Every structure is written in C-alpha cells, then in structure tokens.
Amino acid sequence: MRMFKPTILALSLAIIFPTQSSAVEIPTVFQVQGAGYGHGVGMSQIGARAKAMAGETATAILNYYYKDVVIAPLDDTKILRVNVGHLLTSAKIVTATQDAIIQIYNGDIGDAQDAIPLAVVPVKSSLNFSILGSTVVPSVVTGKKTTSIPRNRVFTIRWSGTRYLQGVDGVISLSHTTTTKKYRYGQMQVRAVKASTLGYRLEITNSVRLADEYLWGVSEVPSSWPEAALQAQAIASRSFAMSKAGIYRASCDCDLYGEISDQSFLGYAKETEKGWGHLWKAAVTNTAGMTLTQAGKPIAAYFSSSSGGQTETSGNAWGTQISYTQTIPDPSSLDPILNPRFFKWERTVSQAAVAAAFVLPDVVKLEIVMKNTSGTVATIKATSSTGVQKSLRGETFRSRTKIPSAYFDLVGVQNAVEPTPSPSP
C-alpha cells in the first residue's frame, strides 16, 4: 500500500489546486488610449509652432518651456562624430554626384592631410562593407567586377568638395538595411565595434562641424513651419548637440546618434528640400551660436513632438530631476487641427510586447498604480499567471512597448490610481 501513497497525494493535489494555465486566462492583447507623442520633456514642438503662429518670438518660446535659462552665444565650431549607421552587418557608399570621387584610407586618420588612400573609387562604382569577425571588410564594386581591400578594424572615407578633400563638390549616398541617405559634408569612419550580445558590428559615423554641417541636416520639424518655431528648434538642437559634444561613446563610436534617441539627422536632404529647405538653413544661420545655457554651459535641451496637455519633468520621465525641466500647460498638443494624429490616440499592444516590457513569461493583469501631476503614468504594474508582480515607470513602459507617449490610460481596466498633488503655481 505504501507505494501508492505518492500517486494518491499527487492526484488529490491536482484536484484541489488546478494548474495556472486552466485557472487564469491570459489576454492576447491590451488596449491603450492616450494623447501626445514622445516623452513630453522640455519643449513641445507642436506648442512651439502654435506660439509662433500667435506671433511669439523664438526667445519667448524657449523661455516658456525651459526654466531659468539664458540664451547666449557660444563657440559651436567643434567637430561632432554623428552615428549614421548602428549595429550593421553590411553597408554601401556610392557617389551621388557626377565626376565626384571617393577615397578610402586605413584607420581613423582624423584631420590628416598627408594620408595616402588605399583606393580611389571610380565613378559609377560602389564601396561596400561587411563584417568578418572583429574586422571590417571593404571592397570596390564596378559593374560585375569586385576588387577586395585588405580588412582592418577601422577605415576613413573621404569624398571631393569637402574640407578634407579638394575637387568637384560631391554628395555620397550611404545605404544600409532599408535606408539610404545623402551626405554632403565631412568624412566618415567605418569601425568594427563589439556589441554586448551580437558580437562585432559595423558602426558608421559622419564627422561634421556642429555650427552648420550638422545643424543644416537636423530634421526635427517641418521646414515649412513659422520662422520663430524653426529658430526655437535650431537653438534647442544646437544646445542639445553642444551638451553632447566631446563626450565619446564607444558603443556607437560617436558623440551622438543621428536618430531620435538623440536628434534625427537627415543629412543633405534636409537643406535641399524643394521649396522649404532654405528656410531651415536660414533659421540655423540666423541664430548662429545662440545656445540655451545654465551657469554658462549648454543644456541638454530636450524636446518632443507633443504632450498630453502639460509638459513633463526629467525626474518623472527618467528618474533624475534636471532643474530646467518643468511641468507647464501645453494646450496646443490637444488641438485636433494642430496635432491631428496625436491629440488623442488608441493602440493595441500584444501580450508578447507587454510581457517582454516587464521581463515576465506572461501578463494576465495590468494596472496603473499612480500618475504624475503632468498626466503621465508614474507607475504601471503587471501581474503574471503565477502571481509574480513587477512595476515600471510609465515612460519606460512607453519606450519598451512603442506606444506614442506615457500620457495614457488602460481601456476596460479599473485603475487604482493614487491621488497626486496639484502642480505648483
């Protein structure tokens, strides 16, 4: 009889305590609704546009969104390393200008003028790159002919008509993944960099002068917007770049990324945009050197597309309070005419995306625990089918699930939101 006791006990437990999978329904999706686009910290670009349309100056706009700052002229002629290709396995560079030439050099040669090129890329040819182990493998492709170049950890690429190489004004096209962008200025470096989980990948940077070569290519707002809004954006973008200049990041071989994680850098297409590009270029030129500062130093002038009606602080968004960020009214973000796509929005987020955000095997329940005075979600809590609970900042949840903003509510859920104090006058 003794040999049967474990079996009887196991059967009894199975009857009394059904398995989690049969006891708990795991939702396939979660419904979310909200307003605004982006983190909401600093200047609201939709708000800046509305203020410019109402006749406010760039200075007035910036002083509204950034607390206790001084707009002052600073030397912005420094060279930036802007990442224009991140975690790549291959890339291709071609000339987009007739008779312009491309040259490739061994190593990162900086400003050297006496370096000897490994190869000159003929017209109607491409310079291709791939990764092999910890090295970059370049080759020149002309028609059906491929000429290999000895591999190395890093290469420099120059093209004619720049301050690095005389000759016909050149424009190059850089293609990788599904993206092709044109670049007119500076030079490029292609480097093999070890990524934490992927092994070695290509990192491509464009070394450009901040004052013009970089800022002319920043594409954060439409060039058709009112002059004061463009100037406010130019000053904010200059300030942000100035705060990052010279702080080298080994992971991207750069000072800053050319994507929205820092600022969107479109390159030559921004200043040559038909009908409007010259207006953005003029906004940069007419605000030359003007920078948002505190204690004489440039600030990281954060900005985002729009808010949920009030701007956000860095402390609420990311956990570290920066003195010039604040919660202030931003009603234009809720205007359906000015902000037709994001004055309100709804999204369906998959079970997989939510579970991955919380690093849980599954999520059976989501709950907004607390909101900030700005209207963003302060804390959102998830419960798994096994009863494990984890919490995230609303901004972290937004970033991981790729919903438009942290100004959101859960649809069909009774949220236990704690009261929050009223904003300070």
pLDDT of residue 415: 65
Over its C-alpha atoms, the chain yields an Rg (Å, rounded) of 26
Structure tokens at 12: 């009894």
Residues pairing with 182 in the sheet? 173
Q: Identify the pLDDT of residue 425.
A: 40
Nearest to 271, CA basis, from 207, 182, 168: 182
Task: Check if the beta carbon of residue 283 is closer than 8 Å to that of residue 234.
Answer: yes
Mean pLDDT over the full length of the chain: 92
Name the token pair of 415.
């949220």
At residue 177, the pLDDT reads: 87
- If you search the block for the tokens 């959101």, which residue do you land on? 408
Average pLDDT per block of 10 residues along the chain, 425 residues long: 37 40 80 98 98 98 98 97 97 92 96 95 92 97 94 98 95 94 98 95 98 98 98 98 97 96 96 95 98 97 98 97 98 98 98 98 97 97 97 98 98 67 45
Can you give the pLDDT at residue 420?
56
What's the rounded Cα separation, in Å, for the pair 262 and 27?
A: 35
48-67 pLDDT tens trace: 999 999 999 999 999 999 99
Segment 146-185, tens digit of pLDDT: 999 999 999 999 999 999 999 999 999 999 988 999 999 9
In 3D, which of 88, 324, 361 has the Cα closest to residue 200?
88
Rounded distance, CA 16 to CA 345, Å?
Answer: 45
pLDDT per position as a tens digit, 78-125: 999 999 999 999 999 999 888 899 999 999 999 999 999 999 998 889
Number of Cβ atoms within 10 Å of the Cβ of 401 = 18
Q: Which residues pair with 392 in a beta bridge?
A: 380
